[in-house]
Structure 1
Amino acid sequence: MMKKLLLALLLASVIIACKPDNPVHVQMQLSNGYWFNGSDFEEKTVWIKDGTLSFNEKTVLSDTIIDLEGKYVIPPFAEAHNHNLESDYELEERINSYLDNGVFYVKHLSSIKKRMDSLIHFYNKPTGIDVSLAHAPLTGTGGHPIALRKRYLEYGYFDGLFNTLEEIETHGYFIIDTEADLESKWQRILSFQPDFIKINLLYSEEFQKRKNDTAYFGKKGLDPKLVPAIVAKAHNSNLRVSAHVATSHDFHVAVSSGVDEIAHLPEIHNGQPIDPKDANLAAKQGTVVVTTASLVTKNKERDNYQALVDNIRSNLETLKQAGVIVAVGSDMYNDNSVEEFQLLHSLEVYSNLELLKMWCENSATTTLPHRKVSFLKDGYEASFLVLDKNPLVNIKDVNQSIVLKVKQGSILN
């Protein structure tokens, strides 16, 4: 027998049926809701069947009819750049923080598979967050993140896994100095089954200067001449490439080499402009740029802090004018893309519609490009957020207006 339930009664009944690791897919009909169509909200009746959305199921008998009472439905949010899911330290709190704020998808830009293996059961399930993983990034001798791995080794974070820095190589990073290195190590790279390839470009305009200078340990990356070969190799293996960049020249090298994603807005800490020609090429290729703009807050004590913020705004305006796809990612251990989103909102570069699409559509698509997520379309995963206010009118603190979360047809508590 069908029941017509108000939203409050739904939370008291259907959630109970959804056990944490074995959720029950309830056939639902959702009426009187306004659904985001990519440009506006439309009042629709929508059905959930076997964990997917249907916009034409009038003959299907639903277990539950939910009256959304004029509320607004959007795709879930995503965190397109972080590194905070590799440790079991306060892991449950971090996962809950993501879910509580409507962030269902996280792109983890590098990790050590040996550490992730014991935690992977927390992820990629209907009642948890979904992650995509690069595992070990590609870098040059002495490049980022080798210094970081060395520091963590000395702190004892790798006790029981590695005893020396040399043992971490191939697990925490791959050193690629030549095309011969790339060829000989490629199968080992693939053996970790990465969802995408992460490469590190840092101050590539000074590659020769920094190459053999130990003063730049951890502050350099790949030989820029190798990037096209790496991209070609990855694409031949059906893997996308995400490039860590620091400078506008790094951005130029990455875009010119055909990478799929830029993992950082360049010049966050240096304050130089992006070349509009590179922005235009990125737009033409469909290269995604992940913001990580809130990293600038680490420079608050610097005299030029406001100038850095102004440069971030200017570079985002350059990307916007070119039509570059921009996604929301923080690269901040204690963030879940919410604070990043708030910073982007405060810069007043993008409209509410553009910000919503960046956080819902662009971020999820670049995180899980082969999944039917990020849009509320027929046949797509039944994952969405129900809001009590229209985000196109007031998007500030939009995460605080969530009244219902559904992931793959399961209602999240």
Structure 2
Amino acid sequence: MRNRIYYMLAVLFILTSCYSKKNKITKAEFENPNSLSIKLVNGYWFNGNTFENKTAWVSKGILSFNNENAVNDTIIDLKGMYVVPPFAEAHNHNLESDYKLKERIDSYLDNGVFYVKLLSSIKKRIDPLMHNYNKPDRIDVSLAHAPLTATGGHPVALRKRFLEYGRFEGLFNTLEEIESHGYFIIDDIEDLEKKWSQVLSFEPDFIKIMLLFSEEYEKRKNDTTYFGNKGLNPELVPEIVKKAHQNNLRVSAHVETAYDFHIAVKAGVDEIAHLPEIDNGNSISLKDAILAKERGIIVTTTTSLVTKKREDPNYNELLNNISANLKLLKEAEVKIAIGSDMYNDNSVGEFQFLYDLGIFSNLELLKMWCENSSMTIFPNRKIGHLKEGYEANFLVLDSNPLDDIREINNSIVLKVKQGMILE
């Protein structure tokens, strides 16, 4: 009983001080937070379109809006603040090593990003770090592990470079040892059949495939000058997708060009992992965008990657092409998720870049970051919405993001994950 009283007092202190000490919240200490039942009153909850004044209950980490008879351990007065689902990072690779790991995790959580999709990782490298993830008070991650590519394709050159830098010390001594850990070489149907059981043995949460300049596959496949700048034979993609779906695994496709996008959509992948960054100005076709919408394919943005080319004389052309593709996807009502693929950043920077482009409304940006991004990371979990029976994962904001969303991360005053109040 005493512990519960201390908890109630701590929560009340948090809520009464959050206006003056924004982002300085201290987590109340308790042994088993999910055993507590909390009633939240006077809050405005996001329903997917607007905010509704509702009373909510949290019990055993689950959210309810219809639990009048619940016995509550404490009542939290939200005092007219706004509640949204947490944010997500739909494309990154920066949680695989222990380098600045705590700093990276803290950056995600401090900014309200609860879910991260790692589009490739080396299982031997990340396994010792998994105790940091997928817990009520930690970020949740979804893993592809080794992507499928062709001989000399991406990311073979990248793995080779890291090996030479010494980043795989104690794990691998040669590039040959990295294969099947850092990538799978799939050059034909025979390779796919032979290696598929090994792909599955790593227990990936989804399958990552590499499509790079598919329109030039024949030209590049045996040319060593394209080492690291090529990908799978596009004719293999439908069979890979078929195999993955038979094993209840979604497929995420790395693309570089509009033709890669076409191949991926035609084959029925579940996610496009990049917005095509096209130097020659070709844009996604409206026909492919419409098909992506019909098939429920989610496109992850990674548009802020273009900022690495600010000094490129064609930078403005690249920026215009990105904007044209985003407008086309918006017109076709394709679901768009926010992911950065920025190793030293996360989806916060990507969100801000998208905001500055001025293409999407505040409502569209909020849904992209909260709903669509969560959906493509953990499609089988009840997250991304504030609905009856969903996980009690949410952020409390001191301002309405539909009015002003640019500084949404700075308006977070309370973070709750699976019924647990985070620092």
TM-score by length of 1: 0.97
Q: What is the deviation of 1:65?
A: 0.2
Q: Deviations over 1:335-376 (max 9, x none)?
A: 110110011011111111000000000001101111111000
Distance in 2, matches of 1:205 and 1:18, equals: 58
Distance in 1, matches of 2:278 and 2:409, equals: 26
Q: Secondary structure at the match of 2:172?
A: coil
Distance in 1, matches of 2:252 and 2:181, equals: 18
Distance in 2, matches of 1:115 and 1:82, equals: 16
Distance in 1, matches of 2:117 and 2:381, equals: 13
2:370 corresponds in structure 1 to: 360
Q: Secondary structure at the match of 2:128?
A: coil
Q: Is the 8 A contact 1:271 1:312 kept in 2?
A: no
1:230 corresponds in structure 2 to: 240
Correspondence list, 1:172-183, <5 A: 172-183=182-193
2:288 corresponds in structure 1 to: 278
Correspondence list, 1:73-112, <5 A: 73-112=83-122
Q: What is the deviation of 1:17?
A: 2.3
| Aligned partner (choices 337, 343, 366) of residue 327 of structure 1 | 337
In the alignment, structure 1 residue 187 sits paired with structure 2 residue 197: yes
In the alignment, structure 1 residue 15 sits paired with structure 2 residue 27: yes
Structure 2 residue runs of 5 or longer lacking an equivalent are 19-23
Q: What is the deviation of 1:161?
A: 0.7
2:45 corresponds in structure 1 to: 35
2:21 corresponds in structure 1 to: none
- What is the aligned-residue RMSD (CA, Å)? 1.6
Structure 1 residue runs of 5 or longer lacking an equivalent are none
1:162 corresponds in structure 2 to: 172
| Aligned partner (choices 209, 218, 223) of residue 213 of structure 1 | 223
Q: Percent identity?
A: 66
Q: What is the deviation of 1:16?
A: 2.9
Distance in 1, matches of 2:253 and 2:418, equals: 30
One-letter amino acid matched to 1:17: E
Distance in 1, matches of 2:165 and 2:13, equals: 53
Q: Is the 8 A contact 1:6 1:67 kept in 2?
A: no
In the alignment, structure 1 residue 373 sits paired with structure 2 residue 383: yes
Q: What is the deviation of 1:330?
A: 0.3
Q: Secondary structure at the match of 1:242?
A: strand
The range that moved more, 361-370 or 1-10, is 1-10
CA separation of 1:13 and 1:267: change in aligned 2, threshold 3 A = closer
One-letter amino acid matched to 2:105: I
Q: What is the deviation of 1:267?
A: 2.5
TM-score by length of 2: 0.94
Distance in 2, matches of 1:96 and 1:72, equals: 23
1:267 corresponds in structure 2 to: 277
Distance in 2, matches of 1:209 and 1:121, equals: 45
Distance in 2, matches of 1:10 and 1:225, equals: 60
Give the total of aligned pairs: 411
Q: Is the 8 A contact 1:26 1:410 kept in 2?
A: no
1:135 corresponds in structure 2 to: 145
One-letter amino acid matched to 2:29: A
The range that moved more, 215-224 or 300-309, is 300-309
Q: Secondary structure at the match of 1:17?
A: coil
Q: What is the deviation of 1:308?
A: 1.0
Q: What is the deviation of 1:271?
A: 3.4
1:54 corresponds in structure 2 to: 64
One-letter amino acid matched to 2:15: A
Distance in 1, matches of 2:63 and 2:105, equals: 25
